Every structure is written in C-alpha cells, then in structure tokens.
Structure 1
Amino acid sequence: MARLRSFERLTSHFMDIADFLLVYIEEAHPSDGWVSSDAAYEIPKHQCLQDRLRAAQLMMAGAPGCPLAVDTMDNASSAAYGAYFERLYIIQEEKVMYQGGRGPEGYKIAELRSWLDQYKNRLQSPPSTVVIHV
C-alpha cells in the first residue's frame, strides 16, 4: 500500500501533463497461496472476474481520482506488458516511452518521476526557432 500512496502522490503532482491508469492484475500474494507477511488485505486467488473486481475495489480506496481497469481472467494485460507482479509504463501516442522494471525490485517511482520531470521541462521550454535561408 505504501507504493500505491507514492503513486498517488506522483499522479497528483503530474496531473497537468499526464493521464494515469492503474490496471489491477492477478493477485501476487493471495491469502490462499503464497502469502506476504506485509499484505494489507486478505485476498484469495481470483476464481472469476467478480473476485477480481471486488479486489480491485480495495485498490480504488487507495488511489482516489485515478481510473482503474481490471485485467481479464486470462491475464491478457499482464502478459502483454510483462506486468506480473507490478510494473510502471509511460505510453505516448501508442508508443512505449518508459518501461520500468518488474516489481517488486524494478518498481521505481523515482525513475518514473524523473522521466515525467524531464518531459514537463521540455513542455515548458520555449520552442526552438529554425531559420531556413532560401
């Protein structure tokens, strides 16, 4: 949940230049599987889409204002983006501009913040002038 709070702070800071989306995928540490000692919730392995939707609603409480999508039961989004357990992406004009490492070790909000800071600086820089002599 601490990572979710960090993500929420990031979205608040950059909401003027980016749209954010959380995609809830399969539970990495289900309460009836490989249990994590620091899990904030007891979420069993999803047996159907309704299970996944209920678990995603818990996430919504931790990320107000950020839209949330839920992966299909065949884990299509997770497979397409290599998201399991968690991953950060920036997609611009249908192109992956930033791909963070796989979590938990590769999940680095600071890297994402750095990319967004650089992007924001480019947006705020005056346009360069090109002179063409004919």
Structure 2
Amino acid sequence: MARLRAFESLAARFVDVADFLLVYIEEAHPSDGWVSSDAAYDIPKHQCLQDRLRAAQLMQEGAPGCPLAVDTMDNASSAAYGAYFERLYIIQEQKVMYQGGRGPEGYKISELRRWLDQYKRRLQGGPSTVVVQV
C-alpha cells in the first residue's frame, strides 16, 4: 500500500502534465497461493472477472484520485506490458516513452518522478499531456 500511496502522491503532483491510470492485474500474493508476510488484504486467486473487480476496488480505495482499469482474465495487459506483478510506464502518442523495471525491485517511483520533472521543464508552458499506466 505504501507504493500505491507514493504513486497517488506523484499523480497529484503532476496532474497538470499527465493523465494517470492504474491497471489492476493478476494478484501477486493471493491468500491461497504465495502469501506475502506484509499483505494488506486477504485476496484469494481470482477465479473469475468478478473476483478481480472486487479486488481492484480495494486498490481504488487506496488511490481514489486515479482512474482504474482491470486486466482481463487471460492477463492480456500484463502480458503485453510485461507487468508481472507491477510496472510503471509512460505512454505518449501511442509510444512507450518510459518503461520502468519489473516490480518489486524495478518499481521505482523516483525514476518516474525524474522523467516527469524533466518533461515538465521541457514543456515550459506548452499544453501537452502524457498517460501513465501501471
């Protein structure tokens, strides 16, 4: 949840230059699978889309300012973006401008913040936006 709060803070800071989107994918540490010792929620492996939607709502409660999308049960978004289990992206004009490392080790909000800081400085008043997908 700390990472989600950091992401939410980043989204609030750069709301003037980027659109942020959370994409909820397959649960990394389901309660009936590889359980994490610091899991904030008891979420079993998703058996259907309804399970995934219910779990995603918990994520939405942790980041109420960000729109939320939910991956399909065949994990199409996760596969397309290599997001297993968390990853940061910046997509601008249908092109990947920033691809963070795979989480948890490669999930670095500081790198994303640096990219957005540089982008914001380059804009210098010109209207433009980017979409950040997680």
TM-score (norm 2): 0.93
Question: How far apart are 1:125 and its partner, in Å?
Answer: 6.9
Residue aligning to 1:132: none
Question: How far apart are 1:22 and its partner, in Å?
Answer: 0.2
Q: 2:125 & 2:58 partners in 1: Cα distance?
A: 40
Question: Are residue 24 (structure 1) and residue 8 (structure 2) matched?
Answer: no
Taking only aligned residues, the RMSD between alpha carbons, in angstroms, comes to 1.0
Structure 2 letter corresponding to 1:57: Q
Residue aligning to 2:111: 111
Residue aligning to 2:11: 11
The CA deviation string for residues 16-46 of structure 1, in whole angstroms up to 9 with x for no partner, is: 0000000000000000000000000000000
Unmatched runs of 5 consecutive residues or more in structure 1 = 127-134
**Which 4+ stretches in 1 moved above 6 angstroms?**
none
Unmatched runs of 5 consecutive residues or more in structure 2 = 127-134
Q: 2:92 & 2:60 partners in 1: Cα distance?
A: 24
Q: 2:28 & 2:110 partners in 1: Cα distance?
A: 23
Structure 2 letter corresponding to 1:94: Q
- What secondary structure does 1:90 align onto? strand
Residue aligning to 2:2: 2
Q: 2:29 & 2:78 partners in 1: Cα distance?
A: 15
Residue aligning to 1:130: none
Q: Name the structure, 1 or 2, with higher relative contact order (CA <8 Å, separation 6+).
A: 2
Q: 2:83 & 2:55 partners in 1: Cα distance?
A: 17
1:57-68 to 2 correspondences below 5 Å = 57-68=57-68
Q: 1:60 & 1:105 partners in 2: Cα distance?
A: 23
Q: 1:83 & 1:12 partners in 2: Cα distance?
A: 23
1:1-134 to 2 correspondences below 5 Å = 1-124=1-124
- What secondary structure does 1:9 align onto? helix
Q: 2:16 & 2:8 partners in 1: Cα distance?
A: 14
TM-score (norm 1): 0.93
Query: For the structure 1 residues 97 and 44, does the alpha-carbon distance in structure 2 shift closer, same or farther, using more than 3 Å as the test?
Result: same
Which one has the largest radius of gyration? 1
Residue aligning to 1:131: none
Q: 1:125 & 1:63 partners in 2: Cα distance?
A: 28
Q: 1:101 & 1:65 partners in 2: Cα distance?
A: 24
Number of equivalent positions: 126
Percent identity of equivalent pairs: 87
